[in-house]
Amino acid sequence: MKTNKLKIRIIVVPLLLTCFVLLQSCGKATENKKAEVKETKIIKIEKYCFINRISRKDGKVSAGLDFIEYKKIKDLNSSLKQKQKIELPNGYCYVNDEEKTVDYPVSNKATIVMQTMDYDNDGNFKFNEIVSLARLVDFFSKPESQRLKHEPFKVIFKNDKIVSIKEIYIP
Residue-wise pLDDT tens digits, 131-158: 999 999 999 999 999 989 889 999 999 9
Opening angle at CA 109, ends 57 and 148, nearest 5: 65
Residue 32: pLDDT band with limits 50, 70, 90: low
Residue 101: pLDDT band (50, 70, 90) is very high
Radius of gyration of the chain from its Cα atoms, rounded to whole angstroms: 29
What mean pLDDT value characterizes the chain? Answer: 84
Residue 31: pLDDT band with limits 50, 70, 90? low
Give percent helix, percent strand, percent coil of the chain, each to the nearest 5.
35, 40, 25
What is the phi/psi pair of residue 60, to 5°? -115, 140
Strand locations in 73-169 (E): 84-87, 92-96, 102-114, 129-130, 153-158, 161-167
Asked if the model's pLDDT at residue 37 lies above 80, the reply is no
- The mean per-residue pLDDT over the stretch 44-60 comes to 95
d(CA 78, CA 68): 17
Rounded to two decimals, the pTM is 0.72
